[in-house]
Amino acid sequence: MTRLGRDAAALLLRRLRSWYADHRRSLPWRETSDPYAIWVSEILLQQTRVATVIERYREFLERFPTVCALAEATEAEVLTAWSGLGYYRRARMLHQAAREVCARHGGVVPGSAAELRALPGIGRYTAAAIASIAFGEAVAAVDGNVERVVLRLTGAGLTGAGPGTAVAASEEGRRVQADADRLLDHAAPGEWNQAMMELGATVCLPRGPRCEVCPWVEVCRTRGEHPVRKRAAMRAEALSFEWVVRQSSKREPVERVWLVQRDERQSVMPSMWELPAADGADGEPVLGLRHAIMQVNYQVTIYAVEAATARRSRQRGGRWVTAEEAGRMPLTGLTRKVMQRMGWLPVGGARRAKPDGVSR
């Protein structure tokens, strides 16, 4: 270790192994050695809470049980399965990578971190996590949780520039990776990496580390004193959308709502379906809600607009859809939320149905 001696490293190893054996959470992706399932869990866990991932992980694997089943799906089917999770680039990259695995590797997930990193959407951390957990490769997986644990444990960054500048961040990143590599349990690297992540997620918390129950408290150089990177401030913005419903008739006894498809060239959520934007000229406000994306808090207003007066939005590419059809389409997270609040989609449901081949 650069900042912790070998005796301390041996003690850390014993303590964390023992602590993890007693405290590991039972999570579905810890009950499998299938590299594809572990890969899916790692992609889902990026930017999404564990409780949400538990439910969606099972659904995703039911829908796409093998890497080639995922590869053979259309992008619309994959986005539908991902709907509501946000950060849709993750789903697109996973889909592209699955296609590469099936086309170039015969459907066998590559077994080393170096090969995994060559696939779309798999960075250093994800490659190390999959390679160590599924294949036992001795590589340390350093995500935000692990970085925080290592920085606090070693006391790095308490002096000097500290977190916050590009130079400090890249240098610190290299040192953290080197320390994490030295700490790694070569006998069980997958278990070790998961133990480190577990310690960061449940004990060495960003604000308020629980040092009193930490297995490393005697060796830790900071015991929670380490500075935490400040989150960027959220900014507020207003958004409004039209809620245009074609009333049911005797001839067609099912209500339909007008949805539009985002342009496939848009950088955010391309090709996904959403409510048409309102220009404020027509309609009555029927719903207000908050929705956070990245660093923006949106105050959203939904205006009910008569179908006869909503010609402007209907000039753009879109279609009338029933509630059932909407539940099978790749909706933006905000649109899904609105449709749930308006009683058109059940909370937490509807995405289980198979997609109907909505074109991009």
Contact 276, 320 (CB under 8 A): no
Per CB under 6 A, 217 contacts ligand SF4: yes
Which residue in 32, 96, 222, 340 binds ligand SF4 (CB under 6 A)?
222
Q: How far is the CB of 202 from ligand SF4 (least distance, A)?
A: 10
For ligand SF4, the closer of residues 4 and 358 by Cβ is 4
Q: How far is the CB of 6 from ligand SF4 (least distance, A)?
A: 19
Q: Which among 351, 280, 266 has a CA at the least distance from the CA of 313?
A: 280
The catalytic residue among 31, 42, 218, 252 is 42
Name the H helices within 118-242: 124-135, 144-154, 166-183, 189-202
Which residue in 129, 139, 146, 153 binds ligand SF4 (CB under 6 A)?
153
Per CB under 6 A, 105 contacts ligand SF4: no
Q: How far is the CB of 280 from ligand SF4 (least distance, A)?
A: 50
For ligand SF4, the closer of residues 174 and 210 by Cβ is 210
Handedness of CA 14, 205, 27, 293 (dihedral sign): negative
Per CB under 6 A, 61 contacts ligand SF4: no
Which residue in 24, 105, 223, 314 binds ligand SF4 (CB under 6 A)?
223
Which residue in 176, 220, 321, 339 binds ligand SF4 (CB under 6 A)?
220
Per CB under 6 A, 330 contacts ligand SF4: no
Which residues on neighbouring strands pair with residue 299, listed in sequence order?
Answer: 238, 290
For ligand SF4, the closer of residues 152 and 336 by Cβ is 152
Cα atoms in the 13 Å half-sphere on the side-chain side of 350: 23
For ligand SF4, the closer of residues 181 and 218 by Cβ is 218
Query: Which long-range contacts (C-beta less than 8 Å, at least 24 apart) are formed by 34-40?
Result: 34/134, 35/109, 35/111, 35/130, 35/134, 35/135, 36/66, 36/67, 36/109, 37/61, 38/129, 38/130, 38/133, 38/134, 39/94, 39/109, 39/122, 39/126, 39/130, 39/134, 40/94
Identify the three-state secondary structure at position 242: strand
How many residues bind to ligand SF4 according to rule CB under 6 A? Answer: 15
Is residue 42 among the annotated active site residues?
Answer: yes
- Rg (Cα) of the chain, in Å, rounded? 24
Q: How far apart are CA 39 and CA 330, in angstroms?
A: 22
Per CB under 6 A, 149 contacts ligand SF4: yes
197-216 residues near ligand SF4, rule: CB under 6 A: 203-204, 209-211, 214, 216
Q: What positions carry a catalytic annotation?
A: 42
Contacts with ligand SF4 by CB under 6 A lie at: 149, 152-153, 203-204, 209-211, 214, 216-217, 220, 222-224
